[in-house]
């Protein structure tokens, strides 16, 4: 019989696991099957009884119909095109042949079944299943949409299994270690997560073909990491009852979360908050090959009206009104940035894209956010996909304080820099904090404020003279109230970063100055125009001052009375909090002031609790009289059993409200009806102490 007409039998396949995984940077995650990256050839050796072969068949192991099946001839030369599946054969022995296979740089990522078909050309043929491969994105391939040029960044944002996530507040930035763990089996869990999304359930072929795009995959996964719309990974919980699950602060690795989700058949894992959502998202994206990092935004805005303004309401007793104050500022919020080309947008928006898996607001009917280009956010181009208005408001919304008296609303204060401070990520190659605020926004206050625009959600009263023309600013000055290194010793000076495991503090890294042609205020107006194209926008400066960072040492222009709260010293855990009121009459006339005080706890997400203490004091001023600080403390009264200082015990913060006022940490009391008022944590005689205590400590969360 002619040997060519005989059936060709395959003996075995050598996958060259060590060589292929090392060359494709997948050694840490390859388990029972080979993981390779698209746009880069991999080699296998076929051992058989003869060397007659004609064609090679590659197809994704999924239910039909799915279009990403490639049939191509095995040539006798090296593959040249990256636009299609290619293979070349080189004889390596009497009964073996090396085959180099290369997937195109835009091939859909996923799990593929590799088959081979032998045909003698004389009616005799045979086929074999060689096994499965995992095809991933390739940050080392210039033709791939996730290509990163810098090797150190590739090692950090694709390969690194360990990192830190920054918690706390802008005055107390604390790194928390996290294990991302791209271990064997993780890519398969990620693919199961992709197969669980609603688009795949209804249109599997279309969904699978779209998996060539990192934009599509990242948007799908930002919805799948939370469980609000589908069988996603994590169930969020921002309360204090974590029964039936794990407290978010107890997680320190993504792997147990993903494995628990897989073992349970897709049941949500209890519980997560913003940094847990972001950490799991980082693991999933890096496992698929997309460069990803975790980003923390301190003083993160959560604006619900679409007007790019955080509206905060107080009544005339100084109480923060939660029902009217639908917007909020979280002490910190965590999301992801992923590196990719944006072929769906005009040129200039490639690079880092914001993804937020924390379920805050719905996007096209699902709780997801992004990808939003960081460059678009910085330049106010909030008309571009996806969810750029929401991300812009998280980092650059203005905060407006209102006094609510019946149906009358009065603007009291406008702060353009209250949101988006010390935006931080882990530095490449170290656990230090890198400040990336300048990538999100231009330097604050680089032009006149956009005062006078009308918020469509409010029936506003024009800025007018507030009662007795009081421009009150509540700001903690002096020693920083919450800068403690690990040993618990108060630290003096500006906001500090606590270095993990070093036992000392260091100043935050300052963001580089803006180099763009547009100022921060011009960008804000540009974004405001795009968000409210049919609303009149006036740019005249307000009669009330804009505050930089919520602090002011000197009276603002136009104010007739200046009030300022100052922290006397930084307390340690369990110590009293002492504040001093600095007051100054700026007019050439005597005056009497009635000052309403209210203290209430504010949760991490900006939601206030009911006031636990309220009082009223009276101030008498001679013309141009000032009342300096530094007075002796009064010993009268009983110590109030209140929880430790919010920044040291950061589950809650205490808000001191006055009418009108901003808020700050602490309580106050009037010690006499004449002289000056030292402020301390004391209970006046006959007043029942506040008994509320928090349950168990946990870090601040969003």
What are the residue numbers of the active site? Answer: 274, 333, 356
CA 381 to chain centre: 20
Q: How far is CA 234 from CA 252, 328, 450, in A?
A: 14, 23, 40
Distance (Å, rounded) from C-alpha 386 to C-alpha 365? 13
DSSP 693: -
Distance (Å, rounded) from C-alpha 345 to C-alpha 385? 8
Please answer whether residues 661 and 641 qualify as being in contact, where contact means their C-beta atoms are separated by less than 8 angstroms. no
First to last CA, the chain: 76
Count, residues in the chain: 702
The dihedral formed by the CA atoms of 308, 313, 318 and 322, expressed in degrees to the nearest 10: -110
Q: Which two tokens stand for residue 4?
A: 């060519």
Backbone region of residue 37 per phi and psi (left: phi > 0; alpha: psi in -120 to 50; beta: other values): beta
Query: Can you spell out the DSSP letters for 188-243?
Result: HHHHHHHHTSHHHHH-HHHHHHGGG-HHHHHHHHHHHSB-SSSS-SEEE--SS--T
Distance (Å, rounded) from C-alpha 97 to C-alpha 45? 6
Q: Which two tokens stand for residue 667?
A: 């309580």
Q: Which two tokens stand for residue 310?
A: 């955080």
Q: How far is CA 92 from CA 44, 70, 98, 235, in A?
A: 11, 25, 6, 54
Q: Which two tokens stand for residue 162?
A: 């360990």
Distance (Å, rounded) from C-alpha 167 to C-alpha 110? 34
Torsion over CA: 340, 342, 347, 352 (sign): negative
Nearest to 174 by CA among 503, 437, 429: 503
Distance (Å, rounded) from C-alpha 673 to C-alpha 618? 8
Torsion over CA: 57, 58, 61, 64 (sign): negative
Nearest to 325 by CA among 314, 337, 335, 334: 314
Distance (Å, rounded) from C-alpha 178 to C-alpha 290? 19
How many Cα atoms are found within 13 Å in the side-chain-facing hemisphere of 531?
30
Distance (Å, rounded) from C-alpha 631 to C-alpha 611? 27
DSSP 165: E
How many Cα atoms are found within 13 Å in the side-chain-facing hemisphere of 288?
28
Please answer whether residues 338 and 353 qualify as being in contact, where contact means their C-beta atoms are separated by less than 8 angstroms. yes
Q: How far is CA 137 from CA 73, 111, 213, 290, 362, in A?
A: 24, 12, 9, 6, 28
| Helix and strand numbers, DSSP H then E, in the chain | 12, 36
Q: Which two tokens stand for residue 176?
A: 């928390």
**Angle between helices 274-288 and 255-263 in degrees, nearest 10:** 80
Distance (Å, rounded) from C-alpha 367 to C-alpha 361? 6
Helix (H, G, I), strand (E, B) or coil at 400: strand
Cis before 695? omega within 30: no
Nearest to 252 by CA among 231, 279, 274: 279
């Amino acid at each position: 019989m002619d040997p060519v007409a005989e059936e060709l039998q395959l003996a075995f396949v050598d996958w060259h696991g060590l060589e292929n995984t090392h060359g494709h940077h997948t050694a840490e995650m390859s388990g029972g099957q080979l993981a390779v990256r698209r746009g880069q050839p991999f080699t296998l050796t076929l051992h058989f009884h003869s060397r007659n072969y004609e064609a090679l068949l590659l197809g994704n192991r999924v239910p039909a119909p799915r279009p990403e099946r490639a049939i191509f001839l095995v040539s006798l030369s090296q593959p040249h095109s990256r636009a299609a599946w290619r293979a070349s054969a080189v004889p390596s022995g009497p009964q073996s042949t090396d085959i180099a296979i290369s997937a195109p740089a835009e091939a859909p990522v996923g799990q593929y079944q590799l088959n081979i078909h032998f045909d003698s050309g004389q009616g005799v043929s045979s086929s074999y299943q060689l096994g499965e491969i995992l095809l991933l994105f390739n940050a080392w391939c210039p033709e791939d949409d996730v290509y990163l040029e810098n090797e150190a960044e590739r090692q950090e944002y694709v390969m690194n299994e360990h990192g830190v996530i920054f918690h706390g507040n802008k005055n107390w930035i604390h790194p928390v270690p996290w294990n991302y763990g791209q271990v064997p089996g993780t890519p398969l869990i990620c693919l199961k997560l992709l197969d669980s999304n609603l688009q795949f359930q209804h249109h599997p072929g279309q969904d699978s073909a779209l998996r060539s795009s990192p934009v599509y995959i990242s948007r799908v996964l930002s919805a799948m990491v939370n469980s609000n719309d589908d069988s996603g990974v994590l169930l969020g919980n921002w309360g204090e009852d974590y029964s039936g699950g794990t407290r978010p602060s107890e997680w320190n690795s993504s792997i147990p979360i993903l494995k628990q989700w897989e073992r349970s058949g897709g049941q949500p894992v209890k519980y997560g908050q913003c940094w847990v959502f972001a950490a799991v998202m980082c693991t999933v994206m890096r496992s698929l090959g997309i460069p990803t990092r975790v980003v923390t935004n301190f003083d993160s805005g959560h604006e619900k009206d679409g007007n790019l303004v955080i509206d905060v309401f107080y009544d005339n007793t100084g109480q923060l009104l939660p029902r009217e104050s639908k917007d909020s500022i979280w002490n910190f919020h965590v999301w992801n940035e992923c590196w990719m080309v944006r072929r769906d947008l005009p040129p200039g928006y490639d690079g880092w894209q914001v993804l937020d898996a924390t379920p805050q607001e719905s996007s096209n009917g699902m709780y997801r956010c992004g990808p939003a280009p960081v460059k678009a956010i910085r330049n106010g181009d909030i008309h571009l996909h996806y969810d750029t208005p929401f991300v812009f408001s998280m980092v650059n919304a203005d905060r407006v304080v209102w006094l609510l008296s019946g149906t009358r609303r009065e603007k009291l204060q406008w702060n353009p820099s209250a949101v988006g401070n010390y935006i931080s990520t882990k530095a490449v190659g170290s656990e230090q904090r890198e400040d990336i605020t300048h990538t999100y926004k231009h330097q604050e206050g680089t032009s006149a404020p956009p005062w006078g625009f009308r918020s469509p959600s409010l029936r506003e009263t024009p800025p007018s003279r507030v009662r007795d023309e009081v421009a009150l600013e509540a700001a903690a000055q002096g020693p920083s109230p919450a800068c403690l290194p690990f040993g618990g010793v108060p630290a003096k000076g500006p906001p500090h970063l606590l270095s993990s495991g070093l036992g000392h503090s260091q100043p935050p890294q300052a963001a580089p100055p803006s180099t763009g042609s547009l100022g921060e205020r011009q960008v804000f107006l540009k974004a405001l125009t795009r968000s409210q194209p049919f609303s009149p926008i006036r740019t005249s400066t307000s009669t009330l001052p804009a505050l930089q960072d919520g602090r002011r040492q000197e009276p603002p222009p136009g104010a007739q009375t200046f009030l300022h709260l100052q922290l006397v010293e930084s307390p340690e855990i369990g110590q009293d909090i002492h504040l001093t009121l600095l007051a100054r009459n700026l007019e050439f006339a005597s005056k009497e002031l009635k000052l309403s005080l209210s203290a209430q706890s504010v949760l991490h997400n900006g939601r206030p609790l009911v006031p636990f203490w309220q009082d009223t004091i009276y101030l008498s001023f001679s013309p141009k009289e000032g009342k300096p600080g530094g007075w002796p403390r009064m010993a009268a009264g009983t110590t109030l059993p209140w929880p430790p200082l919010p920044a040291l015990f950061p589950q809650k913060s205490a808000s001191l409200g006055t009418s009108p006022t901003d808020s700050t940490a602490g309580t106050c009391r009037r010690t006499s009806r004449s002289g000056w008022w030292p402020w301390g944590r004391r209970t006046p005689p006959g007043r029942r102490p506040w008994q509320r205590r928090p349950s168990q400590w946990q870090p601040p969360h969003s």
